[in-house]
Chains A and B, each alone.
Chain A
Amino acid sequence: MKKRILYVFVSLIVAFCWTFPLSAMAAEKPIVVGVPSSLKTLEASEALKAITMAVEEINANGGVQVGDKKRPMEIASIDTRGGEPGVPIADALLAIEKLFLEKKPDAVVLGPFRSEVLLAAMDIYSKYKMVSINVAMTPKFVSKYKGDPEKYKYCFRMLNAKYVVGYLIKTFSKLKKDYGFNNVYIIVQDVLWANAIGKGMKGWFEKAGWKVAGLDSYPTGASDFSASLIKAHKAGSHVIMPIFDMASSGTLALQWKDMRVPALPVGFISPLMGSKAAETFGADVVDGVVNIVFEAGNIPLAKYEPATRFFDAYKKRWGEELQAGHMPSEAYDSVFVLAKAIERAGTLDQDQLIKAIQETDYAGCIGRIRFKDHEIIFGENPLEKSILVIYQWKDGKRVPVFPASIAEGPISKPKWMK
C-alpha cells in the first residue's frame, strides 16, 4: 500500500515538473503576430499555413524567450483582400488598421503582397509603430524607406524584384550563349512589381543585344493573350517572357501551346508554379517551360536540405504539397527571424527590436538571411545568402536549373524547338 502511495506521489511530482514549463508559458501573455494579407489568395493562404507551422514549432519548444520569461506566440490574421482584382487599396488599409486596433499585434509578418497596398501600408506601420516583415516585392519599397528612414524604420521586407531581374538576366544570358536566342517578347501583368520587372528586363535586353519584339501589359483578370502570341510568332521570337501572378494567366500557357508558338516561355506564370500544374494543365503543356520560384523552400531542393525539410514538413502538416511559388517559405522564415530578434533584444520595445532584426544572421529554408537597407540580401548560394530558384518542367517534373549551387540539371532546349 505504502509503495503504491509512493508511486502515485512520485508520478504526480514528475507530471507536475513536466507540465510546469508549459503551463508557466501558457500563463505568460502571448506575443501576438499580426498577419494582415489577402488571405483568400493561394499564395497568402499557404503563407498563413506556413506561419502557423512556425508558430506551432516555436510554441512546442517552449515559446520565445523575452528577458527572463518564455512567452508563447499567437497569430492574429485578417483578410485584407488587397490582392483581389477591383478591391480598393483604401479597403485593404482599413482592414490593416482594424487588425491593429482590435488585436493589437506586437509585430507583423507577411503583410500585404500587392505592391500598391504595401507602399500605402508603410505609413500605417509608422503611425502605429508596428514592426513588420513584409513580402511584397516592389522596388519602390527601398526608395520610400530611404526617403525617410526614421519614419519607415518599422518596415522590413523579404524580397526585392531586382533580384528576380538579376536571376532572369543570368538565365537569358545563358540561353543566348548556349542556344543563340536573341529575340524576346515580354508579356506582363499590369501591376507595379510585374511592370517593373518587364521594363527592367526590356532595358537590359536592348543593351545586351537582344531584339525586344514587344512588351504587352495585361490587366489583372485578362484571359486572352492571342494577340501578343500572334505578334511574338510573327516576330520570330525565340523566347516569351511572361510575368504573372493571376489565376487566369494559366490561359497564356494553354494558348501558347494551342497556337504552337515556337518560343520558349521563361519567366513567372503562377498557375504553372506548383507540383500539380503538370496534372492540371497537362505535362505536354508545361513541358520545357522555365519558371522562377521566388524563394527556395517553395520547391524542394536536393542540394539544400532546409528547403526540402520545410517543403516536406508543410506536406506532413497540411496533407498536401504547397503550390505557391512565392511567400510560404519566406513567411515561415520571417516568424523565426522575428522570434530570434525578440530573444536577442530581450524585449518587444520597437527600437531595440528593429536593431535586432537588422542584425539577423539566420539559416532559413530560403537560405542565409541577412538584412541590408531593411530588406534581405539575395545571392546564389543558400549557405551564404537567400536564394530564388529557376526551374524547368521536364517530363512532368520541376528540375532546378539555376543558381548553379542548387541546380540539378541544365536548361534544355525542348524537343519541339528546332
Chain B
Amino acid sequence: MLVYGFINSLILALIALGFSMTFGISRVANFAHGAFYVLGGLLTWLFLRKAGMPYFVAAILAVLIMGILGALMYRFLLQRLRGLELSEVIATFAVGLMILELMRCFGVMGFQYRLPAFVRGSVSVFGTYVGIQRLIIVGAGLVLLILLYLFVHHTKLGLAFRGVAQDDHTAYTVGINPDKVSMLSLTLGAMIVSLAAILILPLGTISVDDGYDILLKSLAVCIIGGLESTLGVLVASFILGYAEILTVMYISASLSMVVPLLCMLIILLIRPSGLFGKYKELEERI
C-alpha cells in the first residue's frame, strides 16, 4: 500500500505539474489541460502506430506539437482575453471540450488506442511487485521536478518566468515581455502534460473521458496544494494519492473518486489559497 500510494502520488504530481506551472507564471487556469493530456497521448499513438515512427521520435514530435498548440492557444486566444479571468477559464474550457469531443466525433474509441510500455515486466519493491513502467514514471517524475527547479532558478528564461510570476508590470520595466513569457508558460505546460501522458498512458488505454478526469484531478491537486506552488502540488499529490488508496483499502472503492473532491472542498473552506498558495493570502488575512 505504501509503495502504490507513493507511485500514485507521483503520477498525480506529474499530471498536475503543467497546470500549476502555467497558472503560477501566467495566471491562466488552463482548463484544456486534460484535453492536452489525451491529445498528446493520441498524437504519440498516431505517430507510432500509423506513421510507423520509432517510439522516442513519436514522443518527441508529439510533445513539440503540443507545445506549439499551447503557444498558439495563448497567442490567438488568451492574449486577447488577458485580465478577464472568467473569460480565460471559459475559453480554455471550450478549447478542451472542442478537442475532446472532436476526438470522440472522429471515432477515438475502443481499446486499441494504447501506448506500449517502455519496458515490460515487474520487480519487487519492499516485497510488493511493481510494473517497471510505474518505476519509470516515478523516476521520470522526480527528474522532471528537479529539472524544472533548476530551469526556473538557474536559467535566464526561468528567472524571467519567476519575475513575471511575481509581478508582470515590474517585470515589464526590466525588459521582460510578460506576454512572451506567458506564452512560453502555456507551451511548457502543454509539453509537460503531454510528457506525463506518454509516461502514464501505457498503464491503461487512451480514452477521451480521461480528459475530464485529468482536469478534475489536476484542479484538485492544485487547489489543495495552492494553485501556483510546485511544492504544494507535490504535497497535495501525496495527500490525495494516499487518501485514495486508503479509502479503497479501508472504506470503499466506490468512494475513491469522491476523495479528491472532498479534500478540495475542505481545503477551500479552511484555506482558500491552498496549503502553500499565496494567491489569496491577503484576502484570507482580511
Contacts and interface: CB of A to CB of B under 8 A. Distances in A.
B109 A45 contact: yes
B253 A226 contact: no
B111 A280 contact: yes
Contacts of A282: 120
Contacts of B254: 190, 216-219
Most B CB within 10 A of own CB, among A45, A190, A228: A190
Most A CB within 10 A of own CB, among B131, B133, B245: B131
B248 A228 contact: yes
A227 B1 contact: yes
A78 to B, nearest CB: 14
Nearest to B11: A224
B131 A254 contact: yes
B205 interface: yes
B252 interface: yes
Interface string A168-202: 00000000000000000001001000000000000
Interface stretch (B86-94, B159-167, B189-197, B206-214): B206-214
Interface stretch (B58-66, B122-130, B180-188): B122-130
B252 A271 contact: no
Given A227-B248, A231-B249, A250 B109 contact: no
B271 interface: no
A281 interface: yes
B173 interface: no
A222 B253 contact: yes
Interface in B107-141: 107, 109-112, 114, 120-122, 128-131, 133-134
Interface in A201-226: 216-219, 221-224, 226
A259 B256 contact: no
A259 B3 CA distance: 12
Nearest to B111: A271
Most B CB within 10 A of own CB, among A247, A250, A270, A279: A247
Interface in B52-101: none
Nearest to A251: B204
Interface residues of B, number: 37
B249 A227 contact: yes
A250 B4 contact: no
B114 A221 contact: no
Nearest to A284: B120
Contact of A280 (B8, B114, B129, B213): B114
Contact of B245 (A216, A226, A248): A226
Contacts of A259: 122, 128-131
A86 B4 CA distance: 27
A230 B245 CA distance: 11
A214 B184 CA distance: 49
A216 B4 contact: no
Contacts of A281: 114
B4 A260 contact: no
B253 A250 contact: no
Contacts of A218: 253-254, 256
B131 A255 contact: yes
B253 A228 contact: yes
Contacts of B266: none
A227 B4 contact: yes
B244 interface: yes
Contacts of A279: 112
Contacts of A247: 109, 111, 204-205, 207, 209
A277 interface: yes
Interface in A246-299: 247-248, 250-251, 254-255, 257-260, 270-271, 274, 276-277, 279-282
A230 B128 contact: yes
A216 B112 contact: no
Contact of A41 (B109, B128, B210, B249): B109
Contacts of A277: 111
B104 to A, nearest CB: 5
A224 B110 CA distance: 19
Interface of B: 1, 4, 8, 104-105, 107, 109-112, 114, 120-122, 128-131, 133-134, 203-205, 207, 209-210, 212-213, 244-245, 248-249, 252-254, 256-257
4 smallest beta-carbon distances between A and B, as pairs: A258-B131, A227-B248, A251-B204, A216-B253
Given A45-B107, A227-B253, 11 more contacts: A85-B212, A86-B212, A216-B253, A221-B257, A224-B8, A227-B249, A247-B109, A250-B111, A258-B122, A271-B111, A276-B111
